[in-house]
Structure 1
C-alpha cells in the first residue's frame, strides 16, 4: 500500500457527525511484521489495538568501529540574502494557499514584533529523501530523510545559529516522495523543541502537510509552510527587558518531525536538526568580555544520538516496525547519522551539546580512556537551559529521549595522540525503559586529540551561569490550580488519564498569562515515560517515588521541558502560559508511545474563552477492559 492511497487520513474531523467515536483497527500478523503498513486513520480520537507479545527482531549486522569520521567542525545553515535569493513567493502573515503554502493559521503578533525587532532573517529548508546515505561502510547505502538547505557543505544534522532579538522566518518545503513505500509517512509537521513559539509555528501534530494532504488542523495542503520564530524570551509581555525575561533564555534546541501517528518512524528516518540560540550572556563568542565566554564555534559541537536497527545482510537496510505499540529498540547507535564515528579534536576546551534524538532508548554517558578509566568534565546545561551554577567534576550524563545535556571537556589535559571514548552504560533490553547501569558499557564515539589549537583558547567556564526566573512564593504556589496527568498502559493502550489523544479537542483550556502546577504521574507499571510539555519551560517543585519524596538531582534543578517518569514516580511541575495563544500538546517523548496516542492537546485561550475546562475529564473512551497488563516485564 502506498502513502498516496491513504486518502482517509486527510478527512477533516468536522466532516464527521458531532460526538461520533472515530475508531481504527490494527491487526498484527506475520505478514504485517515483515512489511509494516499503517491502517490507522489520521483523525482517530480512540483506537482499539489487537495486542501481541513484543516481537523479537534479528540483530543488526556486525560493524567495525571507528571507520567513519565526523567533520572537525560543523557548518551551520546560512540565512538567505533577501537581495540575492529572496523567498518566492514572499512570506505573508496569512497562509499563502494560492502560492502553494499549507493552510496554517495567521502568524500571531507578527507586525508588532517585526516593528520592534526588524525584518526576520529568512531561512529555507527542505525535507528530502537521500537514497545513498552512508551510515557505516560495512552496511549498504541507506535511504534516509533529512532537512537540507542550499548552504554548501552544511553538516548533518542541519544546524541553525539563532539569536534572541533577531526573529527568523523559516520556510520548510516538503519534498519527500509522495509515492513512498515502507515505514514512515511523507507528510511533515516540524516542531522546534522547545522554542517559545506561536502555536501555528509550533509543529502541532495535526498540522501535517504535503502537496497532496492536509492534516485535520490545517485548511489546505501545501508544498511548504512558513514558520515564524520570534526569538523572544518567555514572559515577553512582562517587559522585564525589551525581549522579556533573560532568565528564561534557551540555548540547545532541536527541531524534528511531529506528524500525527508517524513521529517515531519519520524521526527514525532522520528528520532531526539543531537550533542553537544565543543572547548577550550566552553569546556564542568566547572572546566577548560581557558574556560567559563559554567555548564557541568551531569548538561548540552538537551531537545527536539515536538508536537504529538494520536487517540482516545482504539487505542490511534500516528497519522499523511501526505497527507494534511497543515499537523497535535499536541495537546500533548513530552519532550525527554515523555508527561508531571518530571526532578529532584540538587540545583545548570544547562545549559538547549532547542530544538524545532517538525514539525510545535512554543513555548514561561516561567519558573514558582506552582502559575504561572514567574522566571528569563540567556540566553546564540541561534540556537546553543553562544551570544556575556549573556542576564541576562530573562523570556522567543521563539522557531520556529528547533530553539534552551540555558539557565542557578540557582536552588540553591530554597529550597529542590521546584517544578517549564516550560510552553508554545503561542496559536496556526493551522499549519499556532502562534496566540498569553496568560498566564498561558500549562505546559509541571516539575522540582523538590530534593537534594543538591554531589560536589560544580564550574560553572559560565560570561558576555562575544563569539565574532561575523569579518564582512564586510557597504560599502563592499553594493557591495555583493543580492538574493531575496520569500516564498509563492498559491492555496495550497508551493513555493519559485513561484517554487516548484527540487532535481536535483540548483536554485543558488555560487563560493566557496564568500559572499552574501540573502533577505528572507514572502509572504504567514498569515503563519509563519522558514527558515533554510544549511551549514553556517548567520547574520541578518536588519528586516522589512510591509516594515518598526524593531529592531532585542537581542537574534537574534548572528549567526543563522533558520530565522523565520512571516506574512509580510522580512530579509536581510549575508552568506558566504567556505571550501567545493557541493549541499545544503534552506527550511522552518515547515517540512510539506518542504515536500510539499517549498525548494530550491543551489550549491557551484569551479572557473569557476558558469557561469550558475539560482538564478533569477522565472518562474512558475505549471498548476494552482496562486491567493493567504490565506484569509481563520482559527485562527480567
Structure 2
C-alpha cells in the first residue's frame, strides 16, 4: 500500500521539496511564531463578480423522505452534474446532490433511524460521509467505500493491491441510527485523495438532528432559524469553478498543483451557494446555524452595525449540540468543518439599516461574508440562561490511555513532500490507533501550522490549549478542533457507539487528500 500511495502522489505532482511548499503558503518556524491567519494559497477569480450584498440569501431545500414508517425514514439522492447561476450571468457546472448546491437538507429526530440511498450519475467515484454522525462503520463513508458511476472503467477504482480495503458499488444505502444529541451535521464527499476537489465542486449539504431537549427551549424557529453554509470559491473567466489541476481531463478528476499543497482558498465568499448575500430580518432574535464548508479558509466572524458597533454573537451550541449555558462573543473564530449555533438579536437597530457579517481574517472581498437588512419591526425574545444538562462529564482521571499525535508536514517514501500524522501518510491497510470500546482517552494533538482536526464517530471536549484553559469558543461537545500553528490541544472522549474502523484527520481538505489522515480501530 505504501507503493500505491507514493505513486498516486507522484501522479498528482506533490512538489519537490520543502522550499516549494513554503512558497505555497506553508510557513516555516519563524512564521509559525507569528501565528499566521491562514494556511493555504488563494486563487484569484477572472469572472466579473457581483457587488457585495446585492443577491438574496438562498435557503437550501428540505428533502422529503420517499418512505416513512415505524422503523424510520428513507431518502434517495442522485449525485449529478448541473449548471447553475452562482455568479449573475454565468452558468457554472457543479457536482451536486439532487441538483442543488448546497445539497438538500435532511431534517431528522434523535433515535429515529434514517437511510439514504445514493446513486452516482457523475463521471467519477464518490464516497458519502455524514460529518458528526454517530454512525456504524459500514455507513461512515470510509474513503475507499466507493459509489461508482454506471459503467465505470477508471483505473483508480481497481488499483488497490489489498482488495479488502476497497468496497465499490454503483449505488449505496447509508444507514444512520442518529442516537445522538440534537445538532447540525453535514454530509460531504470523502473519497480518498479527492475530497478537496469534490467538495469544491459542490458535494456538500446539511443534516439536522432534533430532540426534546432542544424542543423544550424557546429558541427561534422556522424563518428565524437560518442555516448558513459558508464556503469560499474562485471562478475562471467563463464563470466555471477554478481549482488547481495537473490534468483536468484525467477522468474528470483534479489533483493539486505544488503551490496549493498547503490548501486551496478562493476570493469569493459564498453563503448557501450565493456570493456575499443579504437577508431581510426584523428587529427580533434570530438563530444562525453556521458551518465553515471551505476547504482551507479560516474565518473570524463579527456582526457590525452601520454605526460601527459590534452586535454580539451569542453561542448556544457547537459541533455536537447545545452548550450548558450561552457564551457571548464579539468575534467568533471558525475553522474548516466547525459548526456554531448562534443567536443574534437585532433589537434596537433602525429599520432600513444593515448589519454586516464580516470576516476579520480576510482582506478585499474575503473580508465580507453576508449582510442582514433590518426590514421591519419585530418582537424580540429572551436568550435562555441555561441550555442543556446532558453534556458528558468525562474526567482526566478516567482516561485509560493518553496519546500524543503530531499533525505536521512530512516526506513521503520517495522523498516528496506531503502531510502526515505521527510521521506517516494515510494507508487504508494500516491501523494507526486502536481504542477499546467504552474507554475514555485523552489525546494531545500537536500542530506545525493550522490543522482543524476531526474525529469520526465520537464527540469530544477540549481540555486545554498550550497547557492553558480552553478558549471560549471551545465550549461544549465538539468533533472538530482548530489547532493553531505550534500549538498543542488536549481533548477527551469516550470511544463508544460502535466498534469497527473509523478515521481521524485534518479537515483542511488538501491536507487530508495529501496524506494527513489515520485509521482508528475501536475493538
Q: TM-score over 0.5 for the alignment?
A: yes
2:401 counterpart residue number: 481
Corresponding position of 1:266 = 198
Matched with 1:121 is: 73
**Residue from 267, 275, 278 that aligns with 2:210:** 278
1:449 CA drift (Å): 2.0
More strand, by proportion = 2
Residues 257 and 266 in structure 1, CA contact (< 8 A), matched pair in contact too: yes
Q: Which residue of 2 aligns with 1:238?
A: none
**Partner residue of 2:136?**
198
Match of 1:461 among 383, 395, 403: 383
Q: Following superposition of structure 1 onto structure 2, how do residues 430-579 of structure 1 map, counting pairs within 5 Å?
A: 442-452=367-377, 460-467=382-389, 469-477=391-399, 480-491=400-411, 492-522=417-447, 524=448, 527-544=449-466, 549-579=467-497
The answer for unaligned runs of 5 or more in structure 1 is 1-12, 14-18, 28-38, 41-46, 84-117, 179-185, 234-248, 284-290, 429-438, 606-636
**Alpha-carbon distance, 1:350 to partner:** 1.2
Cα distance change on mapping 1:537 and 1:22 into 2, 3 Å:
closer
Equivalent in the alignment of 2:265: 329
Aligned to 1:532, what secondary structure does the other structure show? strand
Is residue 68 of structure 2 the alignment partner of residue 68 of structure 1? no
Equivalent in 233, 240, 262 of residue 317 of structure 1: 240
**Cα distance change on mapping 1:81 and 1:451 into 2, 3 Å:** farther
CA distance in 2, matches of 1:446, 1:470: 36
Distance 1:220 1:507 in 2: 20
2:252 equivalent in structure 1? none
Matched, 1:159 2:102: no
User: What SS class does the counterpart of residue 223 from structure 2 fall into?
Assistant: coil
1:174-223, Cα deviation, whole Å (9 max, x unpaired): 111x2xxxxxxx21111111111101111111212213275765665322
In structure 2, C-alpha distance between the alignment counterparts of 1:474 and 1:334, rounded to whole Å: 40
1:349 to 280, 285, 288: 285
Question: In structure 1, what is the equivalent of residue 510 of structure 2?
Answer: 592
Please tell me whether Structure 1 or Structure 2 has the larger radius of gyration of its CA atoms: 1
Match of 1:624 in 2: none
CA contact (8 A) 2:279 2:371 kept: yes
RMSD: 2.6
**Distance in 1 (alpha carbons) for counterparts of 2:190 and 2:404:** 25
**How far does residue 550 in structure 1 lie from its aligned partner after superposition?**
2.2
Relative to 1, partners in 2 of residues 1:582 and 1:445: Cα closer, same or farther, differing over 3 Å?
same
> Which residue in the other structure is 1:300 paired with?
225
Contact 2:333 2:473 in 1 (8 A): no
* Structure 2 residues not aligned, in runs of 5+: 25-40, 245-254, 412-416
Partner of 1:288: none
Give the Å deviation of 1:506. 1.2
Shift in Å, 1:567: 1.3
Rounded Cα–Cα distance in structure 2 between residues aligned with 1:468 and 1:169? 26
Instruction: Determine the structure 1 residue equivalent to 2:176.
Output: 229
Residue 474 of structure 1: how far off its partner (Å): 4.4
Give per-residue Cα distances to partners, 1:366-423, cap 9 Å, x unaligned.
111234332123211122421110124x322110111111111123433332211111
Q: Distance in 2 between matches of 1:25 and 1:251?
A: 37
Cα deviation for residue 76 of structure 1 reads 1.3
Counterpart-to-counterpart distance in 1, 2:476 and 2:61 = 30
Q: How does 1:76-115 map to 2 (within 5 A)?
A: 76-81=62-67
With normalisation by structure 1, the TM-score equals: 0.70
> Could you state the TM-score of these two structures normalised by the residue count of structure 2?
0.84
Aligned partner of 1:24 in structure 2 is 7
